[in-house]
Amino acid sequence: MKKRILITIITFLWLALLVGGFGALLRYANEPGQEGADLKGWPAMASVSLAFPHWTLILFAHPKCPCTQATVENLNRILARTQNNLSVHIFFYKPTGGSAEEWENTSLWEKARNMPNTTAHVDLDGHEARLFAAETSGKAVLFKPNGQVAFQGGITASRGHEGDNAGMQAVVDWVVTNQSQVTKTPAFGCHIFTTENSLTLN
Amino acid sequence: MNSSTHSLELQAQIQSGANDLFLRQENDLHRRIDRMFAGLMIFQWLAGILWAFLISPQTWAGTASSVHIHVLAAIIVGGALAAFPVFLAYTRPGELSTRYTIAVCQMLTSALLIHLSGGRIETHFHVFGSLAFLAFYRDWKVLVTATAVTAIDHFARGLFYPQSVYGILLPSNWRWVEHAAWVLFEDVFLIYSCVHGRRELYEGCQRRSELENVNESIERLVQDRTKELEESHSIIRQRTKLAALGEMAGSLAHEIRNPLAIIQGRARNIVRQIERDPSQVQSINEFAQKIVDTGERIEKIMKGLYSFSRNGEEDEYTITPVAPVIEETLVLCSERFKNGNVEIIVESLPEVPRISCSPVQIQQVLLNLMNNAYDAIEKNEEKWVRVSAEEKGDFVEIYVTDSGKGIPPEIQEKLSQSFFTTKGSGKGVGLGLSISKTIVEKHGGKFFYEPNCPNTRFVLRLPKYLGTQILQQEAA
């Protein structure tokens, strides 16, 4: 009898562990990063220029964030659907004093270098990210040819999950048809900055 | 019992045997697959951890990093999914609940891996692979359980978190049905294979049961026939022994008549002495003593005769020195040899080595050899038979050598064949040596003709009694 009770308790604990484990995974995957302030237009101090007459997409990424792999994959799909009408700049965070070997030799960098119409940049200490109010790796900002912000946010639906989603579809719609109902989505990914260095955005 | 009733009983017996065999084999199969899954679960757990380490080892915030939740999930959730089935596979192998638990956990492992890979379509192959592995159980209910888990998982996650299972945010409400349908598509073949495989297993058991039944019948028949044969051999041995005794009947009668004549003579002497001078007690006493001695001699002959003639087949083995066995045999044949002017030479016989034997049977062998020797040399000029014995390692060898010049090689080859004899018609049936060989071999020894001896020599090599019952048991 005691043995039966013990087995029942262990079974329930085991089930609880499974439910809790899967629950934690789901919660983590659906937890968006910090949103940051809304960007109104092209920052004057930006180190890159608008790609007039084309659309310009600026993506901010932490080079070691595993979740951003899905963002880059989705960006690849966006580029395939927008037919050379989109110019992309990806800014990869790099801390001051960080070695190129450690921060610029990652698989994300490798992918970015091989993508069409894309230029990868080192974002020393996240200077550009601060200018564009990006706090979360995977945040993209889409500019119209005239410099207006069309869309800002994530182009994945959750952390590390590739595939169709509202953000990705919005970018494609804006570039291809110049219209979309979606102008903002949450971004899913690692923090670009350490917590104590979080942005005080302007 | 008529033949149809017997046939029905036989059929029922075969059926029952087939059922038992099937249950046993099916249980063996389930146990084997349980153990296979235990290994697979551990492998998947380790592979999941490795995968998480390679794909998403850490989560970052600027320059700070911590272990990614996927690594923790692979270790803890993956570990929990593996641990329970592994525990059941080793504590309750072959049980229904074990394989159902394994099915559920295997499909949840698929779910975990699909999640860890971000819903990559390639990872869905794990579901199909798992179903194929589960089909090894040949239990379609296991496949149904696994399919239900997959369908519920896809339905629930499709409802609350589609990205994790379909890789896209807004799948159709019926997307889970599409996924489940592909699983069902595979299930159709796997379930067919399970049912068919199970039926084949049963048919195999039925055939084996039939075969075992036939084997049992044959074995019983062989046992019966062997027993009959053994009984026939026993009768033949006894008859051959009595035939050997018959050869000596005349001389034995003479052996008894002589002492009887002595007794009669001495008795008359006593009567006469009493009539003449009853005071001569010493003389009367000498006659009486002679009568007693002669009576003892007759008793000895009769005892040997009785002992020899009785059937010793069922005798338990006794531990005895070889000397008295030989001496008692020689008593029986000494008169015949004396009458035929054949000298019996007995060399000193060892007292110490003892053998575990049936003395009557060994005497039968020796008497047979003595009679053969007599028959072979009775017409020769030089007539003697030498009996000796000596220790050789763990054996005692008894030699019966006669003055003949050996046996030609072509006859040597046939010596132990039944019904082979060189004696004239009516003198022998040709079973003596073959029976002797059987008796000695039953005693764990060897009976053979010694070709290197200048005379004709047969050897009985018997194992010495070494103080344990091992030899006796071997002989039995």
**Local structure of B60: helix, strand or coil:** strand
Residue A178 Cα, gap to closest chain B Cα (Å): 23
For the residues B39-49, what does the mean pLDDT come to? 96
- Rounded Cα gap, residues B326 and B365, in angstroms: 10
Q: Of B83-97, B239-253, B294-308, B382-396, give the lowest mean pLDDT range.
A: B239-253
- Rounded Cα gap, residues A32 and A28, in angstroms: 9
Q: What is the pLDDT of residue B423?
A: 64
Q: Which of the four pLDDT bands, split at 50, 70 and 90, describes residue B312?
A: low
Q: What is the pLDDT of residue B164?
A: 59
Residue B230 Cα, gap to closest chain A Cα (Å): 60
Q: What is the pLDDT of residue B93?
A: 94
- Rounded Cα gap, residues B33 and B39, in angstroms: 10
Percentage of chain B beyond pLDDT 70 is 86
Q: What is the pLDDT of residue B255?
A: 67
Q: Do B61 and A193 touch (CB under 8 A)?
A: yes
Q: Which of the four pLDDT bands, split at 50, 70 and 90, describes residue A175?
A: very high
CB contact residues (below 8 A), chain A span 2-31, against chain B: 14, 17-18, 21-22, 24-26, 28-30
Residue A170, pLDDT > 90, answer yes
Of residues B467 and B296, which shows the higher confidence score?
Answer: B296
Give the count of Cβ contacts less than 8 A between chain A and B: 106
Q: Which long-range contacts (CB under 8 A, 24 or more apart) does B281-290 make?
A: B290/B262, B290/B266
- Rounded Cα gap, residues B376 and B369, in angstroms: 10
Give Cα separations from B108 to B111, B184, B351 (angstroms): 5, 17, 84
Which of A65, A166, A194 lies closest to B169 in CB terms? A166
Note the Cα B288 to chain centre separation in Å.
Answer: 62
Residue A125 Cα, gap to closest chain B Cα (Å): 9
DSSP type of residue A41: B
Of residues A130 and B268, which shows the higher confidence score?
Answer: A130
Q: Which of the four pLDDT bands, split at 50, 70 and 90, describes residue B34?
A: very high
Q: Distance between the two ends of chain A, CA-based, in angstroms?
A: 68
Q: Do A67 and B56 touch (CB under 8 A)?
A: yes
Q: Do B168 and A157 touch (CB under 8 A)?
A: yes
Q: Of A65-79, A158-172, B415-429, give the lowest mean pLDDT range.
A: B415-429
Residues 6+ apart with CB under 8 A from A159: A28, A29, A30, A31, A67, A70, A188, A189
Chain B residues touching residue A14 (CB < 8 angstroms): 80, 84
pLDDT (tens digit, 9 = 90+) per residue, B461-475? 999 887 754 444 444
Q: What is the pLDDT of residue B276?
A: 82
Q: Do B168 and A194 touch (CB under 8 A)?
A: no
* B158-187 per-residue burial string, b: 16 or more CB within 10 A, e: under 16: beebbbbbbbbbebeeebbeebbeebeebb
- Rounded Cα gap, residues B105 and B88, in angstroms: 12
Q: A66 at the B interface (CB within 8 A)?
A: yes
Both tokens assigned to A9: 């308790």
Q: Do A194 and B62 touch (CB under 8 A)?
A: yes
CB contact residues (below 8 A), chain A span 111-140, against chain B: 126, 137
- Rounded Cα gap, residues B19 and B7, in angstroms: 18
* B328-363 per-residue burial string, b: 16 or more CB within 10 A, e: under 16: bbbbbbbbbbeeeebebeeeebeeebbbbbbbbbbb
For the residues B333-346, what does the mean pLDDT come to? 85
Residue A25, pLDDT > 80, answer yes
| Contact assessment for residue B202 and residue B18, using Cβ atoms and an 8 Å cutoff | yes
Q: Do A17 and B80 touch (CB under 8 A)?
A: yes
For the residues A104-129, what does the mean pLDDT come to? 95
Q: What is the pLDDT of residue A202?
A: 31
Residue B347, pLDDT > 90, answer no
Residue A78, pLDDT > 90, answer yes
Strands A55-61 and A139-143: antiparallel
Q: What is the pLDDT of residue B27?
A: 95
Chain A residues touching residue B70 (CB < 8 angstroms): 25, 66
Of residues A52 and A196, which shows the higher confidence score?
Answer: A52
Q: Which long-range contacts (CB under 8 A, 24 or more apart) does A71-76 make?
A: A71/A137, A71/A138, A71/A140, A71/A154, A71/A155, A71/A156, A71/A189, A72/A108, A72/A111, A72/A112, A72/A115, A73/A162, A74/A155, A74/A156, A74/A162, A74/A163, A74/A165, A74/A168, A75/A115, A75/A118, A75/A140, A75/A155, A76/A111, A76/A115
Strands B343-346 and B384-392: parallel
Q: What is the pLDDT of residue A200?
A: 42
Q: Do B118 and A62 touch (CB under 8 A)?
A: no
Residue A63, pLDDT > 80, answer yes
Q: Which of the four pLDDT bands, split at 50, 70 and 90, describes residue A201?
A: very low
pLDDT (tens digit, 9 = 90+) per residue, B100-146? 999 999 999 998 998 888 777 788 899 999 999 999 999 999 999 99
State which residue of chain A sits closest to B79, comparing Cα positions: A18
Mean pLDDT of chain A: 91
Q: What is the pLDDT of residue A75?
A: 96
CA neighbor of B216 nearest in space, from B32, B14, B406 = B14
Q: Do B62 and A126 touch (CB under 8 A)?
A: yes
Q: What is the pLDDT of residue A105?
A: 93
Q: Do B169 and A157 touch (CB under 8 A)?
A: yes
Omega before residue A53 within 30° of 0, cis: yes
Q: What is the pLDDT of residue B471?
A: 45
Greatest C-alpha distance within chain A: 79
Q: What global pTM score does this model have?
A: 0.62
Whose structure tokens read 């109104």? A40
Of residues B209 and A162, which shows the higher confidence score?
Answer: B209
